[in-house]
């Protein structure tokens, strides 16, 4: 199987380039080789490579900046995935694409007013530009008729790149006190888990000779949208405290005592883009249909930090 991987320099793409090894021929490209804002280049690359599967973690992910660059964000997140999927369809390839909890408005509640996790059946209603562009990308892929897996993940962190974990470690090494929002709930998800789990499902559901039918039939059996997150729910403040509880045990991550993490509300942290308060995604469909193991956010955090310590030795 020939796999075209986009965005190999991103948090998820970097891990995917490693996790996908062994599944076939991996052609990993970066922005210079396949710029998602250049639709002709996208078409040319796919027509030249002729992959069996396209894995697309490349995206415009700067949530606040997207508010002032809506056209560029829409081109990369909303239009390019549709062009990729149209080209894939023409050559009989499938697409695995990543989307986000930010397609929802965060207002889902139960009878007692408590937050209830979103399922794949819930109707998206994004409240910021990034979320609107990611939803447009999902819709364009579905409209193309190309075999697809749309994996909605959330709160992605990694040992490198731009993410909340590394921001906390940096700030924690500089300051004695941090103020972190404590009323947005979701699932922090490690890019290493995303990549390993993606590779596992490709292997078990699309490549393995145990799976019934030819590749198109195998894809058709699992086609659709899946929530794709580590399990358990926490606020950003709770996540920050979890990070420092682990990092405090490791002098390579934190060179001083852990900062005091104060709980604040979203209203106390003004930013250009509104964020959903409820970002909880249910992993029930992921576990039932794709049958992959889902680590808890705290297990994955420990695994990630252990790897980071190994990097710094």
Ligand X SMILES: NC(=O)C1=CN([C@@H]2O[C@H](COP(=O)(O)OP(=O)(O)OC[C@H]3O[C@@H](n4cnc5c(N)ncnc54)[C@H](OP(=O)(O)O)[C@@H]3O)[C@@H](O)[C@H]2O)C=CC1
Ligand Y SMILES: Cc1cn([C@H]2C[C@H](O)[C@@H](COP(=O)(O)OP(=O)(O)O[C@H]3O[C@@H](C)C(=O)[C@@H](O)[C@H]3O)O2)c(=O)[nH]c1=O
Catalytic sites, residue numbers = 130
Asked if 60 and 73 count as a contact pair (C-beta separation under 8 A), the reply is yes
Q: By CB under 6 A, name the one of 63, 140, 199, 305 that touches ligand Y.
A: 63
Kindly report the number of other CB atoms within 10 A of residue 259's CB atom.
19
User: With binding defined as CB under 6 A, does residue 9 bind ligand X?
Assistant: yes
Instruction: Choose which of 56, 61, 282, 295 interacts with ligand Y (CB under 6 A).
Output: 61
Gap between the Cα atoms of 275 and 279, Å rounded: 9
Interaction residues for ligand X, span 216-275 (CB under 6 A): none
Among 77, 100, 133, 278, binds ligand Y (CB under 6 A): 100
Both tokens assigned to 287: 């576990």
The vertex-19 CA angle with 86 and 201, nearest 5°, equals 60
**How far is it, in rounded angstroms, from Cα 234 to Cα 189?**
11
The helix or strand, by DSSP H or E, that contains position 287, with its residue range, turns out to be: none
**Is the Cβ of residue 97 or residue 205 nearer to ligand Y in the bound state?**
97
Residue 11 near ligand Y by CB under 6 A: no
Verify binding: residue 79, ligand X, rule CB under 6 A. Answer: no
Q: Which of 3, 4, 5, 13 binds ligand X (CB under 6 A)?
A: 13
Partner whose binding site includes residue 79, from ligand Y, ligand X, none (CB under 5 to 8 Å by kind): none
Give, as one character, the DSSP assignment of residue 277: S
When the beta carbons of 153 and 197 are compared against ligand X, the nearer one is: 153
CA proximity to 62, closest of 54, 52, 72: 72
Q: Which is nearer to ligand X, 59 or 74 (CB)?
A: 59
**105-134 residues near ligand X, rule: CB under 6 A:** 134
Nearest to 117 by CA among 273, 279, 241: 279
How many CB atoms lie under 10 A from the CB of residue 175?
11
Question: What does the binding site for ligand X look like in residue numbers (CB under 6 A)?
Answer: 7, 9-13, 30-31, 35-37, 57-61, 76, 98, 100, 134, 153-156, 161
Question: What does the binding site for ligand Y look like in residue numbers (CB under 6 A)?
Answer: 61, 63, 100-102, 154-156, 164, 167, 178-181, 184, 236, 269, 275
């Amino acid at each position: 199987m020939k796999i075209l991987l986009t965005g190999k320099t991103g948090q998820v793409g970097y891990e995917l380039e490693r996790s996908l090894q062994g599944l076939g021929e991996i052609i990993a490209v970066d922005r210079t080789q396949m710029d998602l804002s250049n639709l002709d280049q996208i078409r040319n690359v796919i027509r030249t490579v002729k992959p069996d599967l396209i894995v697309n973690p490349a995206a415009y992910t700067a949530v606040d900046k997207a508010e002032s660059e809506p056209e560029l964000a829409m081109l990369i997140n909303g239009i390019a995935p549709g062009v990729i999927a149209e080209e894939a369809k023409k050559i009989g390839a499938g697409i695995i694409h990543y989307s986000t909890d930010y397609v929802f408005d965060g207002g889902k509640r139960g009878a007692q007013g408590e937050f209830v996790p979103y399922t794949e059946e819930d109707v998206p209603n994004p409240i910021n530009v990034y979320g609107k562009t990611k939803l447009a990308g999902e819709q364009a892929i579905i409209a193309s008729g190309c075999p697809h897996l749309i994996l909605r993940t959330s709160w992605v962190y990694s040992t490198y790149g731009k993410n909340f974990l590394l921001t906390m470690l940096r700030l924690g090494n500089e300051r004695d006190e941090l103020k972190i929002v404590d009323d947005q709930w979701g699932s922090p998800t490690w890019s290493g888990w995303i990549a390993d789990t993606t590779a596992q499902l490709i292997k078990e559901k699309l490549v393995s000779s145990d799976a019934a039918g030819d590749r198109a039939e195998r894809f058709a059996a699992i086609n659709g949208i899946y929530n794709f997150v580590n399990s358990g729910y926490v606020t950003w403040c709770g996540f920050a405290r979890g990070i420092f509880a682990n990092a405090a045990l490791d002098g390579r991550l934190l060179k001083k005592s852990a900062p005091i993490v104060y709980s604040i509300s979203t209203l106390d942290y003004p930013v250009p883009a509104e964020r959903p308060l409820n970002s909880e995604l249910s992993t029930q469909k992921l576990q039932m249909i794709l049958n992959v193991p889902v680590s808890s956010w705290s297990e994955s955090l420990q695994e990630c930090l252990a790897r980071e310590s190994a990097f710094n030795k």
